[in-house]
Chains A and B, each alone.
Chain A
Amino acid sequence: MTWNQHGSLMRTHRGQRPIGWCLAVWLVAIGVVPARAEPTLAEEAAFRKAVARVAPAVVRIEPAGTTSAAAAEPGGSAGPSTGLVVDASGLILATAFAVPDDATSVVVVLPDGRRVAATPRGRDVPRGIVLLETEALPGEAALETVSRFDLEPGQWAIAVGRGWAASEPGVAVGVVSAVDRGWGLAVQTDASVSPVNYGGPLIDIAGRVIGILVPLPADTAGMKVGTELYDAGIGFAIPLDELLAELPRMKRGETLRHGVLGIGYRSRDRINGEPVIGSVRQGSPAARAGVRPGDRIVAVDGRPVVRIADARHRFVPRHAGDEIELTLERVDDGPEAKRGQRTVRATLVETLPPWRRAVLGVVAAASDDDAAMARVAWVLPGGPAAAAGVIAGDRVASIAAVGGGDVVEAPSSAILRGLLAGWEPGFRVRVGLDRDGATSFVELDLAAMPSEVPDEGPPPDAVAAGPAGPVDAAQVVKLEGAEIAEPPFAVLPPASREPLPVLIHLGPPRGAVTEAETAVWKAAVAQAGVAVILPGSSDPRQWSRDDIPAVVRALQSLDARRRIDPARVAVAGSGAGGGFAWLVAERLGPACRGVAVTDAALPRQVTVEPAEPGTARWILLGSAHDPRIEQDRGRLESAGYPVGTLAIEPAAGPPAAVLCRWVSLLGLL
């Protein structure tokens, strides 16, 4: 932007140009700015006036007696930072950056140079805000807040801090870049925001407080934004009016955390998908409020919701303990049912017990019709369904929790997956089976996921639509495509078998994989009906992050020529290829439903998000000798992922048959 525009004085009075002009003339008349001044100087005067309005409430925060090694790192929290006095009784808002969890007290330097000690009182964890309490303070500024919804991107925003000097407020000038970032948590600005003004106010040109400057926590809704982004043209502020509404709770010493509702969506598209609920966790706030799979969220707190992204925008800013109002309508009752809306209220909680995947022990047949009644293609030997007498070819006419809950008629396999995501192993269900035109009922207890890959898997012709081919019909192709420099080989089952489960196998780094090396996969591919992609590393000595796009494009290239089963895409690797497999899985996100890794630990840059019921990956870990891998197992299990063991024989090459069988079983219900 240029700064010789008349813009900002008037922007706060949008559409009222004459008033803006009169104001400018008035400023000239009273001698604030010289006659015929460039807007530059008029704006400079306005900046100073705005800063002066809040300056008495802006204080310096200094750490007291910190020894933590992290704090001593460049950009660490050992340096001075800023806080904002919001109540003359001695309440100051600062950031978790300046006041780490283990801090028992910090020193506040007041504008007059006096030092007072302050104690952390309450916290807002998702927003990275800490409420400090200290003695009564003189000279509280009469802070005026401005709602972010009255702001428009492009208008002036000024960041104020006292990290540089306690005596004089530091100033950085920019504009409002966006008003609703981080799933509704923050306002974004291009003003220079760094550790010295974290905790300080972002104000508009009239001196009204927009929010408190923060390094947006890196774990917020998957946004990788932290302190490393200082001075990068991207800074964030948590709206002050919204923080003041939470002040009474923080004042009572509460630690505010993300609120959990306990629902999963039916759609795999986490942004544009329809907000139709696929799963409801047992005992969750959603379950207690009477939310059921098959409800569509129409509004949250009276604000309309059209896509899943809209719902996330409403949920992410809410805390555990907050009550939310959901407006719902049934979609599963069929078109003839009355589409009446109902409203329920739920109080969000901090955590739910770790989720565990529960299964009936069947694999459903692939179908071209997503809404079609699920047909059992294969029954897991020794599983609950097998014990109850379910056989391949049965159709699921109905399913219901024993002892209450909806009876869901003719569920599709997607609806079954959602229902199972809300249940737990050990849960008893009553299943109506349609066999040769007659319906019978069985009751069975859901089981946990098998801890090892079963010795048997579904024959491909049972799951996929096409007929079986001879075992030697596996074919080797090169996955050529745009922007693929070294097209990798893929081993494919016969063309008629679709949709295809896909395994991306990442071996040791050694450049491109040769056609001869595909031989070990052929029998397994034909047996399990799974396609295997064999990418090579661009550097023969190592896998690098730069290899990830080529792997993703290879998958896209396969998708362009054969239909892929989106519920059965997995990544496997060993050694260096194992670490790389985790990175590829992270890039694929929810599109990756399984990760099998041997002899490699989780790379440090991979974050373990809590498992999302319904789409959580099935993970296999090999090599029991490495304590780091056992540590990973514990982390992954406590995040709710089913983690199995992959038996491996070193020097035997990749366990092709086991891996392909595992991929074919990823859709286990």
Chain B
Amino acid sequence: MTRCLAAVVVVWAGAAAVSGVAVETPTVQQVAAAAARKVVKIHGAGGVRGLEAYQSGILISPEGRVVTAMSTVLDADDIDCVLDDGRRFRAELVGVDPRRELAVLSIDAADLPAFTLAADGRVSAGTRVLALSNLFGVAVGDERVSVQRGVIAAVVPLEARRGAAEAPYTGEVYVLDCTTNNPGSPGGAVVDARGHLVGMLGKELRATTSGIWLNYALPADEVARGVEGVVTGAAEPVAGKPEPFDPRELGIVLVPDLLDRTPPFVESVVPDSPADRAGLRADDLVIAVGQRSVATRAAVERALGAVAPGDPVRLAVVRAGAVVDIDVGPRPRGATAR
């Protein structure tokens, strides 16, 4: 044991020499305490029809600027922000970013602890995080918001729906491996092990592809862009959702969409069309357009729409139990589906 300790000391000294400056990493408790001071409890409208009247928000300037999730809680004349120290402020709604579903609030205060919103830098799957929010509204007055621990499970485009409506934001989100899709969580902070703001907890959503409830956060750089747009009022060039593209323009006739989820089987191929020349055949099952998996006829139309006119269209189809790649050639400008 003594020998081992001696070895420890030697190696330690060596390591310090190699790395030059030892990096101080705060403890988890320090990170949680510091982050919690920058998270506010928001109280607004609701309480009827089972909708909660509370959520969370993140302080992003010492002068009292708060970013939170856009929700019915903010549909109130009186929105209150309760700070970590229990002080209660009437908040003014500065504006909203309907695409990212975030809102910026302002309270009349000064010298507040606040996060720095970095406009770049993403973390990857496997990053350990803490999520801080007033889930279920259990933190009252000067009670500290709740802390959850987890990792970033995945970084993926948001393909989600709330009820029947699809979420307007389709950029990347952080999926978390802890349960954050709770009432009160939206607007909460996600921080990494050093206490840097990594993202903001999103609203309750289900994944479209798997149907499971999503625990996710909007990445901090997206939050920064959203806040910037709201504050400056600058209209951000929004890449509008591409129009679905009718595969018949390429000579592909898919089986009629009788069910919502009819698989995209090829019913027939128009003779001498691009698809015909590329070797597509009736009864082929289209499984991908480019790198995008497609499980339904509507998904094929959306995926084709995402291919820019003039860019090559590559399909993957299942034929006789094997996957066959088909290069159909450039996508024509063409008419939109339906």
Q: Which residues of A line the B interface, CB within 8 A? A: 2-4, 18, 21-22, 25-26, 28-29, 31, 34-38, 40-41, 43-44, 47-48, 51, 62-67, 71-76, 78-80, 104-105, 107, 109, 113, 115-117, 119, 159, 163-165, 168-174, 191-192, 194-196, 230-231
Contact = CB atoms under 8 A, between A and B. Distances in A.
A35 B149 contact: no
Contact of B177 (A3, A74, A104, A172): A172
Given A38-B28, A62-B293, A115 B288 contact: yes
B239 interface: no
A29 B11 contact: yes
B177 A192 contact: yes
A74 B210 CA distance: 7
B212 interface: yes
A196 B126 contact: no
A65 B283 CA distance: 11
Contacts of B259: 67
B109 interface: no
B212 A75 contact: yes
B153 interface: yes
A76 B207 CA distance: 12
Interface in B248-272: 259-263, 265
A4 B29 contact: yes
B12 A25 contact: yes
Interface string B139-175: 0000000000111111110000000000000000001
Contact of B154 (A31, A36, A72, A170): A170
B8 interface: yes
Contacts of B47: none
Interface in B15-55: 15-16, 18-19, 22-29
Interface stretch (B81-89, B316-324, B326-334): B316-324
Contact of A74 (B153, B206, B295): B206
A72 B261 CA distance: 7
Given A107-B318, A168-B125, A171-B125, A21 B4 contact: yes
A197 to B, nearest CB: 9
Contact of B126 (A31, A47, A64, A71): A47
Contacts of B263: 64-67
B114 interface: no
B321 A231 contact: no
Given A164-B156, A171-B126, A73 B211 contact: yes
B153 A80 contact: no
Contacts of B211: 73-76, 78-79, 195
A171 B29 contact: no
B285 interface: yes
Interface in B198-229: 206-207, 209-213, 215
Contacts of B212: 74-75, 79, 194-196, 230-231
B152 A171 contact: yes
B325 to A, nearest CB: 8
A73 B260 CA distance: 12
Contact of A119 (B8, B207, B213, B321): B321
Given A107-B293, A117-B323, A165-B154, 12 more contacts: A47-B151, A62-B287, A62-B295, A64-B263, A79-B207, A79-B211, A119-B321, A165-B156, A170-B153, A174-B177, A192-B177, A231-B213
Nearest to A194: B212
Contacts of B116: none
Contacts of A2: 28
B291 interface: yes
A3 B31 CA distance: 13
Binding site secondary structure of chain B? mixed
B1 interface: yes
Contacts of A63: 295
Given A22-B7, A115-B316, A115-B323, A41 B14 contact: no
Contacts of A71: 261
Interface string B288-327: 1001010100000000000000000000101001110000
Interface in B108-137: 124-128
B178 interface: yes
16 contacts: A4-B28, A4-B29, A29-B18, A44-B127, A48-B126, A64-B285, A65-B285, A78-B261, A80-B209, A115-B288, A163-B210, A168-B124, A168-B125, A170-B154, A172-B153, A173-B177
B34 to A, nearest CB: 14
A25 B177 CA distance: 29
B94 interface: no
B155 A168 contact: yes
A65 B265 contact: yes
Contact of A35 (B19, B29, B177): B19
B179 interface: yes
B293 A109 contact: yes
Contact of B1 (A18, A41, A43, A115): A18
A517 to B, nearest CB: 41
Nearest to A43: B128
Contacts of B7: 22, 25
Nearest to B4: A18
B287 A171 contact: no
Given A36-B23, A67-B259, A67-B263, A105 B154 contact: no
A516 to B, nearest CB: 44
Contact of A231 (B15, B19, B179, B261): B179
A191 B150 CA distance: 10
B287 A113 contact: no
B93 interface: no
Contacts of A230: 212
A139 B213 CA distance: 33
B282 interface: no
Query: Which of A44, A117, A230 gathers most chain B CB within 10 Å?
Result: A117
A22 B323 contact: no
Contacts of A73: 211
Closest A-B pairs by Cβ, 7 of them: A74-B211, A79-B210, A164-B154, A172-B177, A34-B23, A65-B263, A170-B154
Contacts of B179: 192, 231
B210 to A, nearest CB: 3
A194 B177 CA distance: 10
Contacts of B210: 75, 79-80, 163, 194-196
Contacts of A34: 19, 22-23, 25
A113 B211 CA distance: 23
B260 A72 contact: yes
A631 B151 CA distance: 50
B110 to A, nearest CB: 33
Contacts of B14: 29
A524 B288 CA distance: 72
Contacts of A196: 207, 210, 212
B126 to A, nearest CB: 5
A36 B25 contact: yes
Contacts of A37: 23, 25
Contact of A171 (B154, B285, B323): B154
Nearest to B9: A25
B262 A191 contact: no
B147 to A, nearest CB: 11
B318 to A, nearest CB: 5
Contact of B15 (A28, A40, A194): A28
A40 B152 contact: no
A579 to B, nearest CB: 30
Contacts of A170: 125, 153-154, 175
Nearest to A173: B151
